[in-house]
Amino acid sequence: MRLSTYLKEIDRLIKEPTQTEWLKRLEAQVQQGEEILAGCSLLEQTTLSTFFNDKIRTEEIKAWYGEPENGSLFQGTSISSLTIPHVTEKPIHLETVHDLEDEIANSYICYHDLHENKVRGAHLESVEHWLSEGLYYGVVIGSKVISQAFQLATSQEEIIFSVEGVKVDPHEIAHYPNTIREAYFLEARKRIECLQGIDLTQSEFEECLLLADISKPKLQNYKNKLILGPPRCNELCALISRNITTKIREISNGRISPRSLMVTIYDSDTPYGYHQVAGYLGRPHCPILPGLTVLGSSGTIDAFRWLYAYRTSLVSQKIMKGSIYSQVQGQFIPFVFYGVLVERDAEILLDLARLSFLRYRRNLSPYLEYLFLVPSLKEQLDSTSHRDFKNEARNRVE
């Protein structure tokens, strides 16, 4: 199935009342964030930014010790306490995205059945209802697996050519003058067949090119080709989420019935070049989550937080390694499942009914994500008691 065909379902999804309600709330809270920042002094804005950067660092540290070690089942904390990679001895062969959905759904059931009793045995109280909804709340997928599912690959002739006397290397697209970039975009979008039918903006197109990868699974149909980065990842996450949720229920005959499932897509490239072509680099209120690029996630922002998508992507990248490494080791990990060890964590930290929502169109926007968080960041700082530090030392030693 072509990517453009698959994405058409979004036009119906976005009109659903609950989905419309979320997008209106997103817009209102982002506007509230903008108004808060506009009313803040430079020092207050810096304090908010520093506070958020501390949260980023916390996620990095939690991801550092969140990878399974020596076959351990439980590790990390809260949303990454149960991390189960799907391991294969050879690359999975994906003709269409439905092959990927089937692989995820069947693997979900397999790993649920494999580990269900171990989780049940770790609790004193009954967890039957919780486990009936599925042991994992979601899955994180490497971007190039998505690209394979939609055959987003192109020959060098389609992607490397001269415009206005300049031979353009798509990996260096951000370094060319704007006139060359625009001329290249107008020509390349006609040449690259796999992206036909999608009305991509120039920045979206350049994001796909910048994330193009020569390192790929050893499959004959990718010989002498580059795999492009996938566009419209939020939309893809929402659609894949809904489809695999349905398939899990159907395949298990209702034995496992998730309310909804998170799907997150990330790329192993560092985000600086990506943020540059996307227009975020160096812009106020567009923080960078370093180390990799989180491209998209399903669910409302408060159902699955941006920083949670970051942490699970970091853990997934650490587990997955690179495709060349996988070829050598004979061990391939196309996606990783995530669950929690304690039911209370799922109910407090996640909105299990809204993990399949369309977050918003296109890829993740650091501006929208940060502005949505600003009201809660400000509230947390404002509600901190104003301690008098003048006599702090004396009060502690007397």
Burial of 137 (0-12, 13-18, 19+ CB in 10 A): buried
pLDDT of 392 strictly over 90: no
Exposure letters 65-81 (e unless 16+ CB within 10 A, then b): ebbbeeeeeebbebbbb
Q: Is residue 395 part of a domain?
A: no
Q: Within 13 Å, how many C-alpha atoms sit on residue 102's CB side? A: 9
35-39, 204-208, 271-275, 391-395, range with the lowest pLDDT: 391-395
- Reading the block at residue 282, the tokens are 């160096």
Q: Is residue 394 part of a domain?
A: no
* All residues at 6 or more sequence positions from 75 whose CB lies less than 8 Å from its CB, including other chains: 65, 66, 67, 68, 69, 81, 83
Which structural domain range is residue 187 located in? 153-227
Q: Is residue 393 part of a domain?
A: no
In the prediction, which pLDDT does 394 show? 80
**End-of-domain residue from the set 205, 227, 249:** 227
In the prediction, which pLDDT does 126 show? 75
pLDDT tier, 155 (very low <50, low <70, confident <90, very high otherwise): confident
In the prediction, which pLDDT does 344 show? 82
How far apart are alpha carbons 305 and 287 in whole angstroms?
15
In the prediction, which pLDDT does 325 show? 62
* All residues at 6 or more sequence positions from 127 whose CB lies less than 8 Å from its CB, including other chains: 119, 120, 343
Per the prediction, the chain carries an average pLDDT of 91
Q: Is residue 392 part of a domain?
A: no
pLDDT (average), residues 138-158:
92
Does one domain contain both 18 and 132?
A: yes
pLDDT of 124 strictly over 70: no
Does one domain contain both 191 and 242?
A: no
Does one domain contain both 204 and 338?
A: no
Does one domain contain both 8 and 88?
A: yes
* All residues at 6 or more sequence positions from 364 whose CB lies less than 8 Å from its CB, including other chains: 233, 234, 294, 295, 296, 297, 306, 309
How far apart are alpha carbons 178 and 33 in whole angstroms?
32
List pLDDT tens digits, range 314-366.
999 998 877 666 666 768 899 999 999 888 888 899 999 999 999 999 999 99
CA 342 vs. chain centroid, Å, equals 23
Does one domain contain both 131 and 41?
A: yes
Q: Is residue 201 part of a domain?
A: yes
In the prediction, which pLDDT does 1 show? 80
In the prediction, which pLDDT does 224 show? 74
pLDDT tier, 297 (very low <50, low <70, confident <90, very high otherwise): very high
Does one domain contain both 119 and 253?
A: yes
Does one domain contain both 74 and 196?
A: no
Global pTM?
Answer: 0.94
Strand 138-142 versus strand 262-267 pairing type:
parallel
Polymer length in residues for the chain: 398
Does one domain contain both 209 and 315?
A: no
First vs last Cα of the chain: how many Å apart?
74
Does one domain contain both 220 and 264?
A: no
pLDDT of 215 strictly over 70: no
In the prediction, which pLDDT does 386 show? 80
Neighbours of 152 (CB within 10 A): 23
In the prediction, which pLDDT does 323 show? 66
Q: Is residue 208 part of a domain?
A: yes
List pLDDT tens digits, range 246-268.
999 999 999 999 999 999 999 99
**End-of-domain residue from the set 207, 227, 247:** 227
pLDDT (average), residues 306-313:
97
Does one domain contain both 268 and 170?
A: no
Q: Is residue 340 part of a domain?
A: yes
Does one domain contain both 136 and 16?
A: yes
Please state the domain count of the chain.
Answer: 2
Does one domain contain both 175 and 112?
A: no
12-16, 117-121, 175-179, 376-380, range with the lowest pLDDT: 117-121
Percent of the chain having pLDDT more than 90?
A: 67
**End-of-domain residue from the set 182, 197, 227:** 227
Q: Is residue 389 part of a domain?
A: no
How far apart are alpha carbons 59 and 321 in whole angstroms?
19
